[in-house]
Amino acid sequence: MHNPARVAQDGKMTPPARADALMDLLVPAWQFVIGVVVAVVVVVMAVRLARRGRSRMRTAMVVTGAGILGLTIIRILQAAAQRP
């Protein structure tokens, strides 16, 4: 039986070059598909939230803004901690 995987010099198995080329072609396409699906879901949920009224929309915006602000602060603190 023929095994198409190659053994690299470090002893690890590597896939054939054709498989690498195929994955290089497919990865951007899948990223685009996932991005489109996420964008559609965000738009649909935003429309549903906007239909519920100003009060819920304001609350959603405050929660989202607080989340973004919190993640930004955490990322800045992580970057500062990694500096020598």
Which residue did the predictor score with more confidence, 21 or 61? 61
Region 45-74: what's the mean pLDDT? 88
The domain ranges of the chain are: 12-51, 53-84
**pLDDT tens readout for residues 15-41:** 666 767 777 777 777 788 888 998 898
Task: Count the neighbouring beta carbons within 10 Å of the beta carbon of residue 80.
Answer: 8
The single-letter code of the amino acid at 81 is A
Inter-residue contact 48 to 59 (CB < 8 Å):
no
- Residue 1 banded pLDDT, cuts 50, 70, 90: very low
3-state secondary structure of 53: coil
User: Tokens 């803004």 sit at which residue?
Assistant: 65
Read off the tokens for 24. 């290089």
